Structure 1
Amino acid sequence: MAGWLMSAASENAADIKSVAQAQRQELLGLCAELVSARSPQPEGDTTAPVRVLSAFLEKHGLRPEIRSATPTKPNIVCGFDTGRPGPHLILNGHMDTLNPGDPSDWLVPIYQLQQQAGRITGLGIGNMKAGVAALAMAYVGLSRNRAALCGKITLTLVADEVVFGPDGTAFLLDGDESLLGDAVINAEGPGGMNLAIAEKGLLWLSIEATAPPGQGMLSQQGSSAIARLSKLLASLDQWNDEQSAPPPDVAVLANNAGEHGLRLSVNAGTISGGSFVSQVATRAVAEVDFRVPPGMKIDKIMKRVCALAEQIGGIKVTRIKGWDPNWTAIDSELCTAMLDATAAIRGEAARSVVRLPASDAARWRARGIPAICYGPQAELASGVNDYVYEEDVVDCVAVYMAAAAQICGGEGRGATWLSL
């Protein structure tokens, strides 16, 4: 485990950056193939990107293993053991993408990579096919230079992440504890080439209001289910201004929280109720999404909602799903390696931030494994006209390799790194 205690990022930075730069065209070609390999949710069929990535890894003499719980949602596992004692580093990314929605909203081709003014575009390029390509390229480089490393490195490219489903990382970890590893680099960036050491928790609630039947002409204040539900939702909307104080081991988050990082967000995503305009609504239902920052707990949010519902009366609150915010301590070896690597490759250390959407990093953190998110996604959330910056994608290859060199550094640290 000595590699965890020594800095290698700066020692090897020049060689590693040269290796990454030399692979620019192959990297962009892989990005293009992945954008064309369709894998949108809700189907989330990852067979096409698996074919692309398997062929890429095999071309470089590696042996990817395909594992799947569902035939249309295969995952890739590819690992190597240096034969020397050391930590087990996991590189993780997902191959499924968001749904493109209405094609008329797109100003760039959806399933064809386009390069313009330093940007590359296409569905899922930010979330997260560019990140996957960078991970795969970095993994090939690390395998090629395993003589300079110790321990193990495993690449896991998964399905079913966008919907946080059971057939991707959850399936792999439940079936193979060796994939827990000792540390995880996830390529799903939080935007702006920042380093996500934490992410918000999630709480989804179904809120149902009921009321006695009656004629609308006889209604009074709060006598209908819609009125009761509306009153509760209006109160919840005011919670959007609440801020948290981060826990001590991630206190640095207070410096880079921005507008959203440490803010509780509350969104009524769906609402329905009533049967006819002149009748008192006897039932109304809303589904509400809470994103909970580090420093808050979903159980406390749930109790507050239930107390408010009881105060109004005639309202039932049901939890759909949820998990607490999660993070990796800023002074962990993993965070130190990533900060050193970003400083060495990009000239300054990445800012440590809270990632707003959930990621598979949370699955490792829930099992006590340090995990971070760092990748080329340009904005806080990807969507229509998704894009990344070409230079950021190339830099990600180098950052992943430099961080791995620090985490899994062996006796060969400081040696010249070989090109792919």
Structure 2
Amino acid sequence: MTSTPSLSDPADLLARLIRCPSVTPAEGGALSALAAMLSPLGFSVERVTAREDGTPDVENLYARLGNDGPHLMFAGHTDVVPVGDEAQWTHPPFGAAVADGMMYGRGAVDMKGGIACFVAAVARYTARHGAPSGSISFLITGDEEGPAINGTPKLLDWAVSRGERWDAALVGEPTNPQALGDMIKIGRRGSLSGTLTVHGIQGHAAYPHLADNPVRGLLLLTTALMDPPFDAGTSDFQPSNLEVTTVDVGNPAVNVIPARATARFNIRFNDRWSADSLKAAIVDRLEKAAAAGPLRPDRDPVRYEIAWTERPSPVFLTRSNQLIASLSSAIAAVTGREPTLSTTGGTSDARFIKDHCPVVEFGLVGQTMHMVDERVALSDLETLTGVYLAFLERWFDQEGSTHAAA
């Protein structure tokens, strides 16, 4: 099988994708552009629209090359965050302009660039080796930057219902802090969010004895949430960390003591915790703090309630030595760097994929993601394509040997 030159050129592929204004949840033409790249390479391509009441419909894409194992999944997303103030951009955010060796555009790094590089790597692989001794699939969502409800989770369910199974997955998120080859993500911390509401008694600010100010209680309880630390970290993960992210009393009047005060918080937690054990620890802290500190002397304990987000993200760690070794070796061979194996950063769709197969993440340098003038060096596109090609060669060689021995 041969490929056309454009399918081997990651810069050309990325330009096609950037020119599609696919701000979540709009498809914007990006999945159509990707399908047009994959079909000439022999992939069977299917478009899947996922729906759920109260959420926007989302278009997704699943493509597969080959009919048997070993089966490698490449996962990612074509949706992007809004551009912000377009007037602040040096080049149009959906123009894919090139200047001084950089391509500008929303999604250049996060993560249309990773998708373009993997398509180019597959094109080069098939031109050099023919069809792989197994299968390659693309699992691409349009809902990663949004609520992640009608994207990867439902696309995975759809694929599994059709009999799809995978031996390993690579997510092309931008993982490198400074330079290509710095870091592979082999896991992610869990994420849990909640809303804390403290109830008081509304009244005149000049007559505090007739009221109960809930702000006092909110300060007391949020302090208890943040201090002391939940743990000191583990061998594979940073310390768990809770941050209060919003505080609100809904009160436009400066001379009125509010009736209630709310705070939202998020905690990123390591493998010492599950979502349930962490909830129990948080409630224990709140109970002790509420009992110890009434809003005013000789008053009842602080009255509060807590509401949890419906979908906490679990902590996970990939332990597939073969997958990690194949990728690490490819990175070292192409970049000369030994990548750090990390679990830092936020969540990604790898948290859904880990329930189906071992998963790692490796992509571009993430310094400009979500920023004005998001951009990627053309040289980095070529280097990442080389890494992905070397990874494909190593992974199919190792997996093919394993399957043959079995």
Pairwise TM-score range, normalised by the shorter structure: 0.7 to 0.9
Aligned twin of 1:325: 315
Confirm whether residue 405 of structure 1 aligns to residue 390 of structure 2.
Answer: no
CA contact (8 A) 1:209 1:314 kept: yes
Q: 1:271 aligns with which of 240, 248, 266?
A: 248
CA contact (8 A) 1:232 1:309 kept: yes
Distance 1:411-1:87 versus aligned 2 partners, 3 A rule = closer
Distance 1:308-1:174 versus aligned 2 partners, 3 A rule = same
TM-score by length of 2: 0.82
Distance 1:222 1:328 in 2: 53
Confirm whether residue 373 of structure 1 aligns to residue 391 of structure 2.
Answer: no
Corresponding letter in the other structure for 2:204: Q
- Identity %, equivalent residues: 21
1:67-125 CA deviation, whole Å, 9 max, x = no partner? 22259632222212266xx4211011101011222324434431122333443221111
Corresponding letter in the other structure for 2:312: G
1:369-410 CA deviation, whole Å, 9 max, x = no partner? 210110014339533322223222222222222222222227
Distance 1:205-1:54 versus aligned 2 partners, 3 A rule = same
Corresponding letter in the other structure for 2:225: L
Alignment of 1:41-190 (within 5 A): 41=24, 44-69=25-50, 73-81=58-66, 86-145=69-128, 147=130, 149-177=132-160, 178-190=163-175
Aligned twin of 1:358: 347
Q: Quote the offset at 1:175 in angstroms.
A: 1.5
- RMSD (Å) for aligned C-alpha atoms: 3.1
1:146-165 CA deviation, whole Å, 9 max, x = no partner? 64742221112221111242
1:269-319 CA deviation, whole Å, 9 max, x = no partner? 353333632222111222212222444443343233322322222111111
Distance 1:294-1:229 versus aligned 2 partners, 3 A rule = same
Corresponding letter in the other structure for 1:187: G
Corresponding letter in the other structure for 2:80: T
Structure with the higher helix share, 1 or 2: 1
Distance 1:301-1:62 versus aligned 2 partners, 3 A rule = closer
SS in 2 for 1:236: helix
Alignment of 1:257-268 (within 5 A): 262=239, 264-268=241-245
Instruction: Name stretches of at least 5 consecutive residues in structure 2 with no aligned partner.
Output: 291-301, 402-406
Distance 1:238-1:115 versus aligned 2 partners, 3 A rule = farther
CA contact (8 A) 1:199 1:294 kept: no
CA contact (8 A) 1:201 1:291 kept: yes
Aligned twin of 1:202: 191
Q: How many residues align?
A: 376
TM-score by length of 1: 0.79
Distance 1:408-1:358 versus aligned 2 partners, 3 A rule = same
SS in 2 for 1:162: coil
Residues 384-393 or 92-101, more deviating: 384-393
Corresponding letter in the other structure for 1:307: D
Point out which structure has higher relative CO (alpha carbons under 8 A, 6+ apart).
1
Instruction: Name stretches of at least 5 consecutive residues in structure 1 with no aligned partner.
Output: 1-18, 254-260, 414-420
Aligned twin of 2:22: 39
